[in-house]
Structure 1
């Protein structure tokens, strides 16, 4: 469980914002997979070709694979500052470039742990150019691989911001936070996120940015390692474009969120309570997921439990991919 305790000053500074660089980062992660995105499909040959550029490849080295837990360097997803969309984007690239050599060293070490650091990453660190080159790589990848999709992504994100801003205005910050995702909860002054990781942070007089994501769907990521760069990313609720192949049945927010919530065994009744859906509706959606091979079921005494299958893990990933 990840726990972030927010004091009154932090809560008063909490805001909603779109993170265009984070969307590019997550689309790059998808491009590195063989299966593509479970909803948005194959990024295409142009995106894969962009990966061959040395700066793009350098940024890609720092990414954690989709569906695998682990730390992804914060410099890849800088906090979006207030301002117009163009100003926010340029500000994020500037923030990446401004990452110090010490911060780069700490984040790379956390990313790889005991694994060997790729030679290209080691060389860029030795030259002191890693942060600048990563910014250039993300900029290039975004221009080449995401330009055609961005207007649609931007529309979904704008609608999501409007929905959550309305919820916050009418019900308060706590209600808004509690509605973001089944794995995110606001209780007694603490933001908790269901996770296999364990963190308990106190954020005093810290600005926290809550950002919806279309291309990171269905993952929730919390970035609390550096309080000055505190960001919570959650899957946007907007309906995605029509799926492909056997994943076509997954189109729609309800089935998508149920699948994302099945990283541990859950019963129909539990899912009904967590997602505020009728038991019959949950049973129908689970039947679709079961026939698609994306979940499995087993009996535990008087209960039937559902959990994502290995196929579901590979195609969708786990709800929390990084911290």
Structure 2
């Protein structure tokens, strides 16, 4: 929970955080299956990033949800130069570096030689972490950054308009299904697996659109940083759309239409209407229409999960959708 009074609410702002994107992207790669919405990007990243740098990034983001604070400390510039990112990392304070490396050492149960070596030599740690991040950035993030920046700017403008029309509280409510505004505090529930105690936000909250946060809303609330929430930017799944083995076959696109085929591809990983609309950057009503058609054709099925309905492909749908053209 992030506590906000009226004055603090007025200081809520948006910014893109290049380093946080690096950490969140590495978390996606740590998953056994990144899911249909990230699979294309994950395949490209593994091909483009040097194996040593890739292993280094995965080592620096142990577990499913832990992004070290060294990746959370640089909001602001949405046109980053990799040399600026490296310069920031080479200037990390000893206290922050020691804290993060100690947490990583515990996460690896004291069994990772590289982390232990970095704990013993902070000068080496700064240089090697900066080099690993730079290589990861070039291969995994940079190819998509201009497209992401366009999405992020549009997303920020849309939320700013919402805040102007309906108020800051309403804007916060629509950020993510797991983020709720109570009138005095922001609660991060549901999609977030980590619970947070009350966190005062004297300087307001930083809201960070992300290409890699979905399906969770990720929270940074550790001092001395301003409390921040990274949420999935609207339309993120379109960033790396490209024909590949997991793309709908041309025949199915001709049969059901490109829009329905995109929705069908997205529910290769089960999802709700709200999740699909956010990921694909289309209206929920449009998604509902496509899902109804797919369900009627027995290409998709719907299952109620508590208060929400989750859609997924049937075996028939999966076979038709990803069939190789003959």
Normalised by the length of structure 1, the TM-score is 0.69
Q: Do 2:199 and 2:221's aligned partners in 1 also have CA atoms closer than 8 Å?
A: no
Aligned to 2:98: 105
1:289-308 CA distance string (max 9 Å, x none): x9668x8668xxxx897669
2:135 corresponds to 1:152 = no
Please tell me whether the aligned partners of residues 178 and 185 of structure 1 are also in contact (alpha carbons under 8 angstroms).
yes
Give 1:74 deviation, angstroms: 1.6
Check the 8 A contact 1:209/1:232 in 2, yes or no. Answer: yes
In structure 2, what is the equivalent of residue 183 of structure 1? 178
The residue aligned with 1:211 is 208
Q: CA deviation at 1:177?
A: 0.8
Q: CA 1:100 to 1:183, structure 2 compared with 1: closer, same or farther past 3 Å?
A: same
Contact kept in structure 2, 1:25 and 1:138, CA below 8 Å: no
Partner of 2:251: none
Contact 1:46 1:145 in 2 (8 A): yes
Contact 1:239–1:252 under 8 Å retained in 2: no
Please identify the structure whose Cα radius of gyration is greater: 2
Q: Within 2, Cα distance between the matches of 1:98 and 1:61?
A: 21
Is the CA contact 2:219–2:228 (under 8 Å) kept in the aligned structure 1?
Answer: yes
Q: State yes or no: 1:258 paired with 2:272.
A: yes
Q: Which consecutive residues of structure 1, in runs of 5 or more, have no partner in the other structure?
A: 263-274, 310-323
Conserved 8 A contact 2:102-2:119: no
* Counterpart for residue 20 of structure 2: 22
Does residue 233 of structure 2 align to residue 236 of structure 1?
Answer: yes
In the alignment, the residues of structure 2 paired with residue 186 and residue 177 of structure 1 have an alpha-carbon distance, to the nearest angstrom, of 6
1:75 aligned onto 2:70: yes
Find the counterpart in structure 1 of residue 263 from structure 2. Answer: 249
Unaligned runs of 5+ in 2: 249-260, 277-282, 313-326
Answer whether contact 2:4 2:200 (CA < 8 A) is retained. Answer: yes
Deviation at 1:111?
4.3
- Indicate conservation of the 8 Å contact 1:5/1:191, yes or no: yes
3-state secondary structure, aligned to 1:162: helix
CA shift in 2, pair 1:258/1:215, >3 Å: same
Q: Secondary structure at the match of 2:75?
A: coil
- Is the Cα contact below 8 Å between 2:22 and 2:133 reproduced in 1? yes
Q: Is the Cα contact below 8 Å between 2:21 and 2:212 reproduced in 1?
A: yes
8 Å CA contact retained: 2:270, 2:311 = no
Indicate the residue corresponding to 1:265 in structure 2: none
CA distance in 2, matches of 1:105, 1:130: 10
Q: What SS is found at the alignment partner of 1:140?
A: helix
> In the superposition, relative to structure 1, how do residues 229 and 257 fare at CA in structure 2: closer, same or farther (>3 Å)?
farther
Residue of structure 1 equivalent to 2:116 = 122
Equivalents in 2 of 1:252, 1:46: separation in Å? 20
- The RMSD of aligned alpha carbons is 4.1
Q: CA deviation at 1:42?
A: 4.0
Stretch of structure 1 that moved more, 162-171 or 55-64 = 55-64
- CA 1:155–1:213 in structure 2 vs 1: closer, same or farther (change >3 Å)? same
**What is the Cα deviation at residue 15 of structure 1?**
0.8
CA distance in 2, matches of 1:59, 1:123: 16
| TM-score, L = length of structure 2 | 0.69
Mapped partners of 1:37, 1:132: distance in 2: 33
Deviation at 1:122, TM superposition (A): 1.1
- Ranked by relative contact order (alpha carbons within 8 Å, sequence separation 6 or more), the top structure is 1
Q: State the distance in 1 between where 2:203 and 2:292 align.
A: 43
Residues 266-320 of structure 1 show CA distances to partners (whole Å, capped at 9, x for unaligned) of xxxxxxxxx9879x769849959x9668x8668xxxx8976699xxxxxxxxxxx
Comparing 145-154 and 37-46, the one that deviates more? 37-46
